[in-house]
Amino acid sequence: MKFLCIECDRQMEFEQRELPGDGTFGAAFRCPACGRRIALLANPMETQLVDALGVKIGGRTLTEEPLELVRSNVLGREEAFQEKPAPAGRPDWSPAAQERLGRVPGFVRGMVRKIYDEYALERRLSVITPEIMDQARTDLGLEGM
Amino acid sequence: MGSVRFRTYHQVEGEDASRLGEQVAAQRERVQARLSGIGRVIAIMSGKGGVGKSYVTAALALGLARRLTGGVGVLDADLKGPTAARLLGATGPVRLDEEGAHPVLGREGLKVFSMDLLLEEGQPLRWNEPGHERFVWRGVLETGALREFLADVVWGPLDLLLVDLAPGADRLEDLAELVPDLAGALAVTIPSEESARSVERAMRSALQAKVRLLGVIENMSGYACGACGHTGALFPGQAGAELAQRFAIPLVAKIPFHPTPFPPAELATLSEAVAAVLP
């Protein structure tokens, strides 16, 4: 999928993605010549179709987790996986963030926790809050997490 | 307003901004890398449900595990009706670490991975929302799940990986795309004419997908009396022999229905016959 600025005859560049949490998806593209921006807005079915391919609009920003597609999309058994405990030096989780993480199904919770941990570590954030989780979802393209 | 003129996709040089092609290529490379330590990947297929394909896969795996000292794995690719884990005595949880998801060990040290390990007891395979227009994306997700079962499961070195496919031809085509060096497929049928017709279609699809057909296994080929050992007819027809002749491939084995599953003598006979046709 390419976006062409017709006036400038230049391919637009990916700039930003938006995941409002309602199953839809948005991505902004910008013309490198004139600066004009457009937004790609996908409905839930289109969003799910892209997700089903295991690809990310705007490019992949995270290393693919094992069984990422299955864990993100299957309504599976809570205790299906036995995961290694998080190593020392991981960020803390605020009570509100922990409560929110607790609402994530056990089937995918370990993967979600790891992704937020790594996001916070990369940015030297010592505590994960719901606001940081929201920002990470948008930055990383984590639909449904 | 006049018509707008602009360049088309291929006229605009360079990758798309999301590099989707690169992302898909990376997925394929992960499959290749993960399977690089496996001697042969063989599909067990059928065009028809209810022919006992999973039982045959399990019997083959159990028998071949005693012959192939380098290890045998079973990937249950029947996502909606997974039974391999239970048949082979493999139970979770699935261990996850940096390497990936580790297969569960079943009888005879078989490495097993199945959707059965991931679903709640008795619950069907269900996908997350959206619940409408599922037909658009469900098939893509199923192929993606198969890809992850190949790429993300830590199969390690194996002599043989058996892939138990769902009934029909679609999944074999998906598998052939994901595993270009698929060693071949074994077709499972029951003796009936209806089964022959259905399995024949699937076998033709396999050939169109350039998958090598290794042979036919006729399951429920009579009923073996538990008391006297006499085998009587269970279904009319000789689908196994007919399909083998039609496709000029061996009728590898005829497995009678047994009241007790996996009799050792049958496992030995079956694995010997199949070992003879393995590439």
Please write the tens of the pLDDT for every residue from B130-172: 666 777 778 888 999 999 999 999 999 999 999 999 988 778 9
Task: Nearest chain B residue to A78 by CA: give it.
Answer: B120
Does any CB of chain B come closer than 8 Å to the CB of residue A64? yes
Does any CB of chain A come closer than 8 Å to the CB of residue B102? no
Assembly ipTM: 0.87
Question: Considering only CB atoms, which chain A residues are within 8 Å of B123?
Answer: 75
Task: Nearest chain B residue to A6 by CA: give it.
Answer: B6
Q: Do A77 and B148 lie within an 8 Å CB cutoff?
A: no
Does any CB of chain B come closer than 8 Å to the CB of residue A110? yes
Q: What is the pLDDT of residue A36?
A: 95
CA B215, B219, B221: angle at the middle one, nearest 5? Answer: 115
Q: Is the pLDDT of residue A143 over 80?
A: no
Give residue-wise pLDDT tens across range A98-112.
Answer: 999 998 888 888 888
Question: β-pairing, B38-45 with A127-128?
Answer: unpaired
Q: Do B130 and A45 lie within an 8 Å CB cutoff?
A: yes
Question: Considering only CB atoms, which chain A residues are within 8 Å of B136?
Answer: 45, 48-49
Decide which of B89 and A143 is more confident: B89
Task: Nearest chain A residue to B131 by CA: give it.
Answer: A45
- Token readout for A81 is 């996986």
Residue (of A119, A19, A74) closest to B124 by Cα position: A74
Q: Which of A9, A66, A73 lies closest to B127 in CB terms?
A: A73
CA B209, B215, B221: angle at the middle one, nearest 5? Answer: 125
Q: What is the pLDDT of residue B163?
A: 97
- Mean pLDDT value across residues A86-105: 87
Does any CB of chain B come closer than 8 Å to the CB of residue A133? no
pTM of this prediction?
A: 0.88
Distance from CA of A100 to the nearest CA of B (A): 18
Decide which of A25 and B225 is more confident: A25
Question: Considering only CB atoms, which chain A residues are within 8 Å of B148?
Answer: 54, 66-70
Q: Is the pLDDT of residue B113 over 60?
A: yes
Q: Do B137 and A49 lie within an 8 Å CB cutoff?
A: yes
**Cβ-Cβ contacts under 8 Å for A30 (sequence gap 6 or more):** A12, A13, A15, A36, A37
- Torsion angle defined by CA atoms of residues A135, A139, A141 and A143, in that order, rounded to the nearest 10 degrees: 0
Contact B75, B164 (CB under 8 A): yes
Q: How confident is the model at residue B121 (pLDDT cuts 50, 70, 90)?
A: confident
Q: Which of A53, A55, A79 lies closest to B93 in CB terms?
A: A79
Interface test with A, best of B140, B155, B178 (most A CBs within 10 A): B140
Give residue-wise pLDDT tens across range B48-92.
Answer: 888 999 999 999 999 999 999 999 999 999 999 899 999 999 998
Task: Nearest chain A residue to B96 by CA: give it.
Answer: A83
Place of tokens 């005829």: B254
Q: How confident is the model at residue B1 (pLDDT cuts 50, 70, 90)?
A: low
**Cβ-Cβ contacts under 8 Å for B142 (sequence gap 6 or more):** B79, B171
* A/B interface, count of CB pairs below 8 Å: 145
Decide which of B37 and A25 is more confident: B37
Each residue of A67-93: b (16+ CB within 10 Å) or e?
bbbbbbbbbbbeebbebeeeeeebbeb
CA B198, B163, B34: angle at the middle one, nearest 5? Answer: 145
